[in-house]
Structure 1
Amino acid sequence: MDESNRSGIEDLDTLVNMLKMAFAFENWDKIIELSEDLLSLVSLNGNGTLKSNRTRSLVYYYGYGHMMKGQALTKLRQYDRARACIAEYAELDRYGNLDEHDLEEVEYYRFMATAHLFEINMLSGHTEVLGDYVSFLQENPFEVLPGLTTIVEAAHEHGLNVDSILEQFSAQIREFGNTEEAADLTAYHFFLLELANYQISRDEQGAAAENILTVLEAAENMENQSNFRKCAALFELIRDSASPAQKERYRGMMRAVVEKEL
């Protein structure tokens, strides 16, 4: 095993599953480490040094490794390094001898590269792409939730008013809250927290408090301690501006937690 593979794992699918778990726990440094291990393993398989068990083509794992590393670097705000990762998976057809399944992977990663480049541009302050980004989301409805999350985060960071965009996608936003899929709910709650931050910056504490309480309640039910802590901290910041009903709702949830823990 190449010493650059720090995990010592020789199974490509195992590393992919570990990456998904690290992403769920927002462990960005671990994602970078595992992504580099995955890419090292792909290289060993590609040059014939090693033959790992796998269920997908090597193109998939190569693209996945760079994409996950780029996403982690984006979360760490290392945007230039993230752009370099995007360049690696944006044009995977540069590798020869690709079959039909390989070409499907190429198209998937080309699409994701476009989406992630919009994300990095917005977060790094290149907000002139906002109009094109909105058009992209209109054409690709399944990208609306992560796209809007990026937009409200960038709006909070760079002082943008995106109320008209939120109104434009209001029907889809309402639908997001009706899902029963755990992964989709997690993404929706992440959006609500970013939206709350944006609303606080716009002096819309009442709306922000409502979104925070929604996620706080869900975090308690789903035993998501990370989201629970985030929500409690955010609510405390705006407690004085919350309505009496919102304060009582918050106190009720906290009393329930205390009774459960003690």
Structure 2
Amino acid sequence: MEHMVKIRDEIAAYLTKHKLSVHQFAVACGIHSGTLSRVMKGQQALAMNHLTRVTRGMGLAEDYFYSKYVDECLFDSAPTWRRLRPFLLQCAALARLDCMERVVQTLLDNLLYAPLLFEVAEELFEQKNWPAAALIYENVAASEKYQHSERLALCQYRLFLINLGDDPQKNLIGATILENYVDKLDEINQLDALKQLAHTYASLHKWEQLGELAEKMLKIASHLYELRRSNHGQPYKRPLYAYVLYARLLRAYVQEERGDYKAALESIPAYMDGSWIREDTEEAKRIIAQYQEWGRANIYLNRLMDGQMEVLAEYVEYISSRENEIFIALFRIVQAANRYKWNVDHILQRFSDYIPYRKYSSIFGERNKLMMSDQYGQFCSELATYYLSRNQYKGDEVSMQSVDLSAKIDCTDNVIRGTISVDFEIAISDMPKPD
């Protein structure tokens, strides 16, 4: 590398061009002149904070010397973590992933650097710098692929979270990969990972996998809760009883989605009952109240889907004061209307402002846009079917909304349902319209 122009050579050229002494330039940059003098003589490596000050003093872009700095840190001298850690963080901040990758891959030739690099990735993950964090996680995971370590499992979990997006096939691949590593996580991270996997499989309508995850989450969370009760173990960032309630809710949700509404009704009391929870905090009271609220709503919903029309009026009044419940309620009401040939025109008219897609919160959190988009696609299909079956000529527009949205999220079932509704509209277009 001796033939390459070094950073100190470029500094020297700058000093000559501007007729500055080392002392003058050091003062202007805010660096001790002795330190800069040793750097210029090759007696001392350039620290990251000194590089930043020198680059700024020369009026250059902050990352101007980064490629050269990689060479000088890795090849011209022995790598030192004290210099490279701040450099990696600064590369991440400036999106210089090319320089990051060279440093990371070279350092991982020595696996002693794996835990240090992982800590940097965790810091970047907390800062929500996803591209930079993913780069390190991917390289650390590749270096430890035969170690079967907890750190490898955490890398895969973080990569799963980072890569979750609007592409259902990619989400499925990510979930399938993560499932191989969940058991290697510590138990509390297992619970978080199972929760995230549950959201993904729910959005993909993988009810069998979702049911298995719910049972696994229930077993782990119940065990940890009892263990903590017996030995007063460490507190967790989320209350363990919340995972127990959530797993029970998922069990009922799977039964509902499979159309077993009677079984779902029998399962609902399990997550409405908070009498076994020993914590008497405001948080505990809030969480118990939330699950009881969801339970009441789901009792109405499952009775409705089971064909019990006598509950419809009561359910409508119940949701009328709960804005976040209205969209999913309309979806289920129209589904039931199509199944049992009910007339719900008055309900659709009453809540017409809630039919256009908008952002709602749900038990799966606001982040899962794919799930909400999928539900809206299904809703459009059901609504089109309802209008068309009653010769109300609104179905063509609603069906095309369903096709367009479902195509964007690659949901084949909804595209087919929406297209069938459109074809039906074309087929009856020549029929005389009702007076």
Q: Alignment length, in residue pairs?
A: 235
1:40 maps to what in 2?
219
TM-score, normalized by length of structure 2?
0.50
Q: Confirm or deny: 8 A CA contact 1:35 1:65 kept in the other structure.
A: yes
Distance across 2 between alignment mates of 1:44 and 1:18: 20
Residue range with higher mean Cα deviation, 120-129 or 77-86:
77-86
Instruction: Name the amino acid aligned to 2:313.
Output: G
Matched, 1:195 2:383: yes
Q: Confirm or deny: 8 A CA contact 1:196 1:207 kept in the other structure.
A: yes
Matched, 1:102 2:284: yes
2:200 maps to what in 1?
21
Q: Confirm or deny: 8 A CA contact 1:122 1:151 kept in the other structure.
A: yes
Instruction: Name the amino acid aligned to 1:210.
Output: E
**Are residues 143 and 153 of structure 1, via their aligned partners in 2, closer, same or farther at CA, if it must alter by over 3 Å?**
same
Distance across 1 between alignment mates of 2:283 and 2:359: 34
Q: Confirm or deny: 8 A CA contact 1:177 1:188 kept in the other structure.
A: no
TM-score, normalized by length of structure 1?
0.80
**Are residues 52 and 128 of structure 1, via their aligned partners in 2, closer, same or farther at CA, if it must alter by over 3 Å?**
farther
- Of 210, 231, 237, which residue of structure 2 is paired with 1:31? 210
Q: Confirm or deny: 8 A CA contact 2:222 2:241 kept in the other structure.
A: no
1:208 maps to what in 2?
395
2:404 maps to what in 1?
217
Deviation at 1:239, TM superposition (A): 3.7
Q: Deviations over 1:224-245 (max 9, x none)?
A: 33432332344344441258xx
Deviation at 1:178, TM superposition (A): 8.5
Deviation at 1:192, TM superposition (A): 1.4
Deviation at 1:215, TM superposition (A): 1.2
Q: Confirm or deny: 8 A CA contact 2:374 2:409 kept in the other structure.
A: no
Distance across 1 between alignment mates of 2:339 and 2:200: 28
**Are residues 52 and 187 of structure 1, via their aligned partners in 2, closer, same or farther at CA, if it must alter by over 3 Å?**
farther
3-state SS in 2 of match to 1:132:
helix
Relative contact order higher in (CA < 8 Å, ≥ 6 apart) = 1
3-state SS in 2 of match to 1:92:
coil
Residues 1-262 of structure 1 aligned to structure 2 (within 5 Å)? 8=183, 10=187, 11-48=190-227, 55-174=237-356, 176=357, 182-183=369-370, 184-204=372-392, 206-242=393-429
- Structure possessing the higher radius of gyration over alpha carbons: 2
Q: Deviations over 1:181-231 (max 9, x none)?
A: 835443332221221222233233x42232111111122233333432332
Distance across 1 between alignment mates of 2:326 and 2:254: 20
Instruction: Name the amino acid aligned to 2:314.
Output: D
Q: Confirm or deny: 8 A CA contact 1:45 1:52 kept in the other structure.
A: no
Instruction: Name the amino acid aligned to 1:65.
Output: A
Distance across 1 between alignment mates of 2:234 and 2:351: 44
Residue range with higher mean Cα deviation, 63-72 or 195-204:
195-204
Deviation at 1:52, TM superposition (A): 9.8
Distance across 2 between alignment mates of 1:172 and 1:191: 12
Distance across 2 between alignment mates of 1:155 and 1:138: 19
Deviation at 1:150, TM superposition (A): 1.0
Distance across 2 between alignment mates of 1:47 and 1:233: 52
Q: Confirm or deny: 8 A CA contact 1:89 1:110 kept in the other structure.
A: yes
3-state SS in 2 of match to 1:67:
helix
- C-alpha RMSD over aligned residues: 2.7
Q: Deviations over 1:44-72 (max 9, x none)?
A: 10221898995321221111111111111
More helix by share: 1
Distance across 2 between alignment mates of 1:25 and 1:84: 25
Distance across 2 between alignment mates of 1:139 and 1:132: 12
Q: Confirm or deny: 8 A CA contact 2:377 2:403 kept in the other structure.
A: no
